[in-house]
Amino acid sequence: MPVHPIEARYGSREMRSIFEFETRFQRMLDVEAALAKALANVGLISKADAGKIAQSASIKRVGVKRICEFEREVKHETMALVLALAKASGKAGRFVHLGATSNDILDTAAALQIRDGLAIVERDLRKLLRVVLNRATRHKNTIMVGRTHGQHAVPTTLGLKFAIWACELGRHLQRLEQLKPRVIAGKMSGAVGTGAAWGIKGPRIQELVMQELELPAATASNQILQRDRFAELVSFFGLLGSTLDKIAREIRNLQRTEIGELAEPFAARQIGSSTMPQKRNPIQCEKICGLARVLRANSQAALENVVLEHERDLTNSSCERVLLPESFLLIDEMLKTSIFVLDNLLVFPDQMKRNLELTRGLNMAEAVMIELTRRGLSRQEAHAVLRRCSAASLQKGVPLAAVLSKERKVTKYITVKELEKFMDPRRYLGSAAATVTRVVRELRSLAK
């Protein structure tokens, strides 16, 4: 039975397949095959032997079971794979892994897995951006309460909220494009990075291996690829996960019973609580928020792995066996859940209107203050007047307009009839709609 939830609960079948043992071993075999071809190209082994090794470098021929049997005996994963491949390659097997060190194979295989995994992340991130941009367009003029410090502020629009999220997702796509050349890289440089076993042919061997695998090569390395690469990757996941966390947190808060402006989808047969039949809990958003905590913690572990001794030690290895697959599977789960939630999000404009009216006009105090300033009252005095009138409105339990209509410093500049106009939330949205239009126009190409 599975122990880790990512084995059955989190992450898509598509993403999981990239990090399964069979795929991991196959990627290692792909690197061994590329090495054999490179060795033949520079004349260190025959083309016939290289062809036999490459032909045998299939997990179906080598077998996971055989690799595991060798590992139980030799206590060394890469050597177990080498022995299994050598046996499958017959007489050519004496040249398997010639001159290479374990991490030439492991790190380059990891680069292939990272490339495949990031292709899925990028695809889903672009899809999420499309969903958010569509929502921004649809709700460009959906007016709602703006909130700061958890308190009602001036009005805003749901479309602007989506547009802001879209900008953040757009920056993540830019970050992803920028980091790919740094984190998707392989190496073939021997025990400490000198490639001494291949002599002067070492640089050419690395070049040929990476050409075969369509990977960029590390400019310089010791026994391993330097782990700032992986730390950047996992930190990126932490950043992206934090944005998804923020979006999910906002939906959770706006789904609160006393707010009720948004809600994540709820299936017909879905159960919210084992004891309270009425409950409709935002469990999808809560899952996103919870998994984001793991991703942020993983960033710390990835940073610790940067610090290794001399040409390398093994402290990063066991950590990365958990860290990389887990981080990919969790961000995969979070992205797909975010797409589902936002694409099927329930929006309640009538409740937004009721909440706008909840404070009886207090959220329009700024609008009146600005108009008083335009008409001649100093900004500071206008602020003091509105502050005093707002306090009176709260204390007496009457609309702000009723208090303002009796304030001489207000009526001197604004008639009672005009007050109604200036306290209309729909007239105080500034450039919200224009901002949404601009964001959608600018980011649409990124979402393709």
Q: What is the pLDDT of residues 61-113, one digit of tens each?
A: 999 999 999 999 999 999 999 999 999 999 999 999 999 999 999 999 999 99
Judge whether 73 lies within some domain.
yes
Calculate the CA 178 to chain-centre distance.
Answer: 15
| pLDDT tens, residue by residue, 220-256 | 999 999 999 999 999 999 999 999 999 999 999 999 9
86 and 121: one domain?
no
Cα–Cα distance list, 196 to 147, 189, 200, 308 (Å): 64, 8, 8, 22
Check whether residue 138 and residue 240 sit in a common domain. yes
E strand or H helix at 148: strand 143-148
- Same domain (yes/no): 355, 371: no
Minimum mean pLDDT among 16-25, 70-79, 270-279: which range? 270-279
Alpha helix positions (H), 344-431: 349-356, 365-374, 379-396, 400-404, 408-411, 416-422
Same domain membership, residue 415 and residue 308 = no
User: Given pLDDT bands bounded at 50, 70 and 90, which one contains residue 285?
Assistant: very high
Per-residue model confidence as pLDDT tens digits over 23-42: 999 999 999 999 999 999 99
Same domain, 346 and 367: no
Looking at 74, 98, 122, the residue that finishes a domain is 98
283 assigned to some structural domain? yes
Is the same domain home to 242 and 255? yes
One domain for residues 305 and 404: no
Number of domains in the chain: 3
User: What per-residue confidence (pLDDT) applies to 5?
Assistant: 82
For residue 282, is it within any domain? yes
Whether 119 and 229 map to the same domain: the answer is yes
Q: CA angle, 80 as apex, 78 and 85 as ends, to 5°?
A: 95
Query: Which of 98, 119, 143 is the C-terminal boundary of a domain?
Result: 98
Asked if the structure places residue 207 within a domain, the reply is no
Please tell me the predicted confidence (pLDDT) of residue 337: 98
pLDDT at 268: 84
Query: Which of these ranges, 206-210, 230-234, 312-316, 402-406, has the smallest mean pLDDT?
Result: 312-316
CATH of the domain at 4: 1.10.275.10
pLDDT > 70: percent of the chain: 100
154-163, 165-174, 316-325: least confidently modelled range: 316-325
Pair (76, 131) in one structural domain = no
**Around 35, how many Cα atoms within 13 Å sit in the side-chain half-sphere?**
30
Last residue within a domain, chosen from 48, 74, 98: 98
| pLDDT > 90? residue 271 | no
What span, in angstroms and rounded, lies between the C-alpha atoms of 413 and 374? 10
Amino acid 7: pLDDT: 80
In 3D space, the residue among 304, 303, 309 whose CA is nearest the CA of residue 224 turns out to be 309
Report pLDDT for 362. Answer: 97
Q: Residue 204 falls within a domain, yes or no?
A: no
Q: What is the mean pLDDT of residues 140-154?
A: 97
Q: What is the share, in percent, of the chain residues with pLDDT greater than 90?
A: 94
Model pLDDT, residue 24 = 96
Q: What pLDDT is attached to residue 282?
A: 95
Q: Residue 445: its pLDDT value, please?
A: 94
pLDDT band, very low/low/confident/very high, at 259 (cuts 50, 70, 90): very high
Positions marked catalytic: 149, 273
Q: How far apart are CA 46 and CA 183, in angstroms?
A: 33
Distance in angstroms (rounded) separating the CA atoms of residues 338 and 324: 21
Strand 262-263 and strand 143-148: the pairing is: unpaired
Burial class (CB in 10 A: 0-12, 13-18, 19+), 209: buried
pLDDT of 267 reads: 87
Within this chain, do residues 247 and 382 fall inside the same structural domain, yes or no?
no
Cβ–Cβ < 8 Å for 129, 109: no
Enter the pTM of the model. 0.95
Is the pLDDT at 1 greater than 80, yes or no?
no
Residues 114 and 238 in one domain: yes
Q: Is 137 in contact with 161 (CB distance < 8 Å)?
A: no
Residue 209 lies in a domain: no
- As a whole number, the mean pLDDT across the chain is 96
* Token digits of residue 140: 């460009």
* pLDDT 10s digits, 342-355: 999 999 999 999 99
Pairing of strands 262-263, 346-347: antiparallel
CATH number at 153 reads 1.20.200.10
Q: Is residue 300 part of a domain?
A: yes
> Do 329 and 16 meet the contact criterion of CB atoms below 8 Å apart?
yes
d(CA 388, CA 384): 6
pLDDT at 332: 98
| CB of 235 closer than 8 Å to CB of 175 | no
pLDDT at 245: 98
Together in a domain, 331 and 371: no
Range of the domain at 367: 362-422
- Quick one: pLDDT at residue 2? 75
